[in-house]
Amino acid sequence: MNTAGAAVAIGPALIAVAIAALISAVIIWTSRPLLQRYALARPNARSSHRVPTPQGAGIAVISATLLVASLWAAWANVAIPPALVMATIVIALVGFADDIVSLPVLVRLVLQAACVGAVIFNAPETARIVPALPLALERGLILLAGVWFVNLVNFMDGLDLMTVAEVVPVTAALLLLGWLADLSWPAVLLATALCGAMLGFVPFNKPVAKVFLGDVGSLPIGLLLGWCLLDLAWHGQPAAALLLPGYYLADATLTLFRRIVRREPFWSAHRSHFYQRATDNGFTVLRVIGEVFVLNLLLAVLALVTVRAGSLASAIVATLAGAIAIAFVLRRFSCPQAS
């Protein structure tokens, strides 16, 4: 069974991307009338959209991702962790229920924690980031980080193409790491299929969006992407695992801390993320997405450099460069644009 060390051939990977994109697009196109009828997101004071828009395209994205990754895994004799597949399905169902009836916050968190925990605590004991820490403590910290990552992907999915601008560069970088034999096969298969599925979502989510992912998409995307990044950290590349989602981590985490300091109800919906403030400050949606996409490409390059260089000095320099680039974009988003 292939797990790591063997390079992923680029030809089959590109075919998998294309198939996942096609499946995702077809499911979205055929299901959109039903979503229009039963899963309509109506605009409110905290929304970025202005007209009622169907949500739930995440059903297509996750279905295409799991289908293509599973078929490719079977063909390549690769085992994708069953706990991850089941947790992805369950957390997607939790998101779908929340899209329809709006679940209480505590119920959502408990179910999300159960899904993340099922993945983490079923991982082999040899999968470590900081071996000096007790295993139970490390896994507990990863559980907290995993629940936060799942939620921050959901929080950041508030603008047309925003999740595409984040997920596509990250998953493409993971695919390149697989091609260079620097990532495990299961992570590469899932990242490749997710990249393609998100590309299939693009025509339907470009401004002005015809359909949204919904929680049924953003939550399981957060789980899958978080697991792929965790796998990268488990393979001795924590700097790259932090650099790749660096913009999402910074925007969401700084926004959370700011709301806590101001004693705002941080668990409720709001419009105070940096990317949301950017649109309030005169940035067009396409400009925000474009700048986030370019930033993520830069972070992907820095992550690839850290992996290939393989030295502590390169990891420190790349992480510092990434932090400066992220701070620059966040600062730009915070400042009103001249008329």
In a domain, 4, yes or no: no
> Phi then psi for 56, rounded to 5 degrees?
125, 5
List the beta bridge partners of residue 53.
41
In a domain, 5, yes or no: no
In a domain, 193, yes or no: yes
In a domain, 2, yes or no: no
In a domain, 98, yes or no: yes
Q: Are 27 and 62 in contact (CB under 8 A)?
A: no
In a domain, 3, yes or no: no
In a domain, 110, yes or no: yes
**pLDDT tens, residue by residue, 18-31:** 999 999 999 999 99
Can you tell me the distance from the alpha carbon of 208 to that of 110, in angstroms, rounded to the nearest whole number? 34
Domain that holds residue 235: 10-334
Structural domains of the chain, count: 1
Residues of the chain falling short of pLDDT 50: 1-2, 5
Q: What is the pLDDT of residue 128?
A: 93
Q: What is the pLDDT of residue 1?
A: 39
Q: What is the pLDDT of residue 2?
A: 43
Q: What is the pLDDT of residue 45?
A: 52
What is the 3 state secondary structure string of the chain?
Answer: CCCCCCCCCHHHHHHHHHHHHHHHHHHHHHHHHHHHHHCEECCCCCCCCCCCEEECCHHHHHHHHHHHHHHHHHHHCCCCCHHHHHHHHHHHHHHHHHHHHCCCHHHHHHHHHHHHHHHHCCCCCCCCCCCCCCHHHHHHHHHHHHHHHHHHHHHHCCCCCHHHHHHHHHHHHHHHHHHCCCCCHHHHHHHHHHHHHHHHHHHHHCCCCCCECCHHHHHHHHHHHHHHHHHHHHCCCHHHHHHCCHHHHHHHHHHHHHHHHCCCCCCCCCCCCHHHHHHHCCCCHHHHHHHHHHHHHHHHHHHHHHHHHCCHHHHHHHHHHHHHHHHHHHHHHHCCCCC
Closest listed residue to residue 201, CA positions, set 14, 70, 26, 326: 26
How far, rounded to the nearest angstrom, does the alpha carbon of residue 247 sit from its chain's CA centroid?
11
**pLDDT tens, residue by residue, 292-333:** 999 999 999 999 999 999 899 999 999 999 999 999 999 999
In a domain, 235, yes or no: yes
Q: What is the pTM of this model?
A: 0.93
